[in-house]
Homo-oligomer: A and B are copies of this chain.
Amino acid sequence: MSNTDNPYAEGCAWIDDGYVPIGEARIPLIDTGFTRSDLTHDVVAVWKGKFFRLEDHLERFESGWTLLRMNPPHDKDDIRKILIECVRRAQLQDAYVQMIMTRGVPLPGVRDPRMLQNRFYAFAIPYIWIFQPDQQEIGCHLVISTQTIRIPAKAVNPTIKNFHWGDLVRGLFEAYDRGGQTVLLEDGDGMVTEGPGFNVFACHDGVVRTPREGVLLGITRRTAIELATEQGIQVQEESFRSEVLRSSDEVFLTSTAGGIMPVTIIDGQPVGDGKPGPITLRLRDRYWLAHDEKRWTTVVE
């Protein structure tokens, strides 16, 4: 079958117990996953025909829906099969695969979230880069927001991966206004948190730091920590202020959508010598090599 004959070529979704082309994938307007953003989700990558750390993503997803007290219509084994089938139908070698569990559609007049049947959606589309590989050669321009703080963990638990992006999108517009490409938010105490879809790392004299509180515990974040440790690089998970980033030798971002991505400018000022640094590049190389390692991969077919 040629790609143009494949109705799923632009992506394949799972909706209401069936597969549909991504362009036709729709959810009920009154699903409280939409009208209350009452949901959890996860994003896993497929690279060269293999899922990367699928089991870790499934585990986090399950932990999220459990903390939200949901009773999903599918278990992890079902979900694994559905995700694989979405990628298979779309015939994607490199894919961005998202799974979403929502509270569900209320019966008329019902506002009690305990009364709803939870719903599962999923889709696979071509791999998405927060920063394309050619942009990563130069490094990206990060703005640290002065107007918007990250939603605190005491309001919304950031370790339950969610779609509460109002703060992140607001920050993104500020970053664009200030000539940047993406944004990093601080918490209410001025501590560095995260940005739209990524964690952040700072390297100082060979030591790598990343925040642990008030952020999603990203799987790419975890991978960067594990790969660094394997390479004998010291990693510290701890809170720090944005001054630490500004005075770093190297700064990088981690995300399933783009991997390990160098930051070379912060608020218009170069980071270190203004070029992607050696630790960042070493970890980035190791990161992509790891996508072929048995310990972390699941073959699609």
Q: What is the interface of chain A, defined by CB distance below 8 A to chain B?
A: 10, 13, 15, 22, 25-30, 33-38, 69, 98, 103, 108-109, 111-114, 121, 123, 125-126, 128-130, 147-152, 154-157, 162-170, 172-173, 176, 188, 196-197, 257
Partner of A128, one of B22, B103, B109, B129: B109
How near does chain B come to A189, taking the closest CB pair, in angstroms? Answer: 10
Given contacts A108-B126, A148-B154, A156-B166, 17 further A-B contacts (CB under 8 A): A10-B108, A13-B29, A22-B30, A25-B28, A29-B121, A30-B123, A30-B125, A34-B34, A38-B166, A111-B128, A111-B197, A111-B257, A113-B169, A150-B155, A151-B152, A154-B188, A188-B188
Q: Is the CB of A29 within 8 A of B123?
A: yes
Q: Is the CB of B114 within 8 A of A176?
A: yes
CB closest chain-B residue, reference A13: B29
Q: Is the CB of B166 within 8 A of A155?
A: yes
Partner of A155, one of B34, B148, B173: B148
CB closest chain-B residue, reference A22: B30
A108 to B166, CA, bound (A): 22
Given A108-B125, A155-B149, A162-B166, verify A173-B113 contact (CB < 8 Å).
yes
Q: State the 10 A-B residue pairs at the shortest beta-carbon distance, nearest first.
A: A26-B26, A156-B166, A36-B165, A25-B29, A155-B167, A37-B37, A151-B155, A149-B154, A37-B163, A164-B164
A198 to B76, CA, bound (A): 37
How near does chain B come to A115, taking the closest CB pair, in angstroms? Answer: 11
Q: Which residues on the B side are within 8 Å of A69 (C-beta)? A: 173
